[in-house]
Structures are given as structure tokens and as C-alpha cells.
Amino acid sequence: MKIQIINGPNLNLLGKREPGIYGSEGFENFLNTLKVKYPAIEFHYYQSNVEGELINAIHKATDEKIDFMLINPGAFTHTSIALRDALLASKTPFIEVHLSNTKARESFRHHSFITDIAVGLIMGFGADSYALALEAAHRYLKTHSSH
């Protein structure tokens, strides 16, 4: 099973940026924990602060026949129709993931341009949001034999 994790802007600062909201661990450390826990999964990870590079990563995931994506678009969640269009074009199922509960934050973070096209949305559990999304993706793929 191939899982692509895509993180958007400022997520390279995990462990340094607002640890009260985003935690004190860098994402690479958490990803290594996932790799140990799920050795049968082939993880692909990409992070960028640049919208176009995230779009390219989504396109590449399609070319590489990724089975499922977990995507945290960061602030692009609330602004990027281009990311939405790339996700629609990819036809790769995905879960929208957020470390914080965006609904409990500033009102401009309440709207997402991708939630309605995602398989699901998991947020508010810090880095565990990714682990929960991974479990959900695994179950989804087991019940949807076309992937």
C-alpha cells in the first residue's frame, strides 16, 4: 500500500512554531514512528511552502499510483482553489488532516476548499490526527477494492 502525506506551508516548522497549538515534535520524527508502526506501508512524504509545488506533488502522486493521500494544506486549505482542482483531477482518494481544530480557531479558518471532496476530515488531535487518518485510509482501501 502506498500512502502519500503532503504537508503545506509552515508545517516544516513543526516543533518550533506555536508548540501550544502544533506540538513540540518535528514531523519527520513522527513520520519515522509511523514507518515503524506500519512497516507494510510505503510512505511518500512531501512538504512545501509553495502552492505550485504542492500541486506538482499531487500530480506526481497520481503518476506514481499512490493508493491514498493524507493532505494537510495548512493555510492553503482556506484559500486555494488550485489545490482543490489538482485533488479533483488526481482521482486519488484523500483525507484532509489538521493538527489543530480549525473550527475552534479564527473564523477565517472555518472554511475549507477541499473538505467536500475528501473521503473525510480529521483534525484537532495534533500529530495523532495523521495516525487516525492512516487508520481510516487503511479501512477505506480494504472496503473499496478499486484502489
2-143 placed in CATH 3.40.50.9100:
yes
Count Cβ atoms below 10 Å from residue 18 Cβ, excluding itself: 12
Q: Which amino acid is at 119?
A: V
Q: What are phi and psi of 96, to 5 degrees?
A: -80, 130
CB atoms within 10 A of CB 82: 14
Q: What is the pTM of this model?
A: 0.87
Domain boundaries, the chain: 2-143
Closest of 70, 55, 47 to residue 1, by C-alpha:
70
Give which of 9, 11, 6 is closest to 75, Cα–Cα: 9
Kindly state the cell numbers that stand for 123.
Answer: 483534525
Closest to 43 measured CA to CA, from 137, 146, 143, 140: 137
Per-residue pLDDT in tens (0 to 9) along the chain, 147 residues = 999 999 998 888 776 766 666 566 777 888 888 899 889 999 999 999 999 999 999 999 988 999 999 999 988 898 899 999 999 999 999 999 998 887 767 676 768 889 999 999 999 998 899 999 999 999 999 998 654
Query: Would you name the residues annotated as active-site residues?
Result: 22, 98
